[in-house]
Amino acid sequence: MNLPYEPAVAFGVHPYLGVAAAVADDRPHLDEVLRKHHFRYSQDLDVYLLPEGAGHNIAVRTVAAATREFQDAGHTVAADPRIMLPPPVPTPDGVAARTTQPGQSLTALTGELHELRRSADVADVLEQILDEHHGAVGDLEEFIDTAAAWCERLDTPDGRELGQHLRTVAHHVAFLGDRLADAQLDLSVMPDVTPQDAPPLADVPLPKRYEVPSVTHTARARAAVAPSPKRPADLPAAPGEGPRSTAAPPSPRRTR
């Protein structure tokens, strides 16, 4: 990183060791803050590193929290943007991995809506959510499908039941994406603009939300009465529990 000044702290990405931090001098406060956020000093590399195995999201949140603390104390901080790049999602042999890009959070997109006045601009924001490769809807559907596959890999009745439940949730997410695509298309052709005297979006009350009951409570009830998550596998089934189907229908994937 070529910087016009020397920051007190710099965060970067080591190709094998993950997120690293370097300090300009030996000020105790810099060391104290980094250790508070779980960075540990490596004498051999002369940098601070997060614990081995720290996930990408944990690393990003840790850098953000440490950066805020440094800046509040008046220190300058530099961070390599590549810290925000998520690792590639593993794929089967012969299937190309998706190109990783920094995601734009739904919080940021929601905030963007407060500044828009034209229907077409709102449609552009919705299009980002529905993007086939990097949209939040597709990412959520893929995440739930992967979580379902993880549960099914347990090869237990509870795992198969929860996997089937998650496949159903993924189906609902796909249906939600279709409905959002309809709304995005309608907004893109609407010539409407909010009037100048319209109240701020933050002052408009949100519609009341309704509770949606869970599809199944079997696994949750069984976990509530279990003495330990490591109980022997040969314990009798919960009273009133009948045989369950082990088949988990795949979630219908849609083309966005």
> Which residue in 214, 217, 213, 207 sits closest to 241, CA to CA?
217
Write down the pLDDT at residue 254. Answer: 47
Write down the pLDDT at residue 185. Answer: 93
Write down the pLDDT at residue 206. Answer: 78
Would residue 20 be called left, alpha or beta, if left means φ above 0 and alpha means ψ between -120 and 50 degrees? beta
pTM for the structure as a whole: 0.63
- Residue ranges of the chain whose pLDDT lies below 70: 1-5, 97-104, 210-256
| Radius of gyration for the alpha carbons in the chain, expressed in angstroms and rounded | 24
Contact 38, 30 (CB under 8 A): no
Whole-angstrom Cα distance, residue 33 to residue 73? 10
Write down the pLDDT at residue 215. Answer: 47
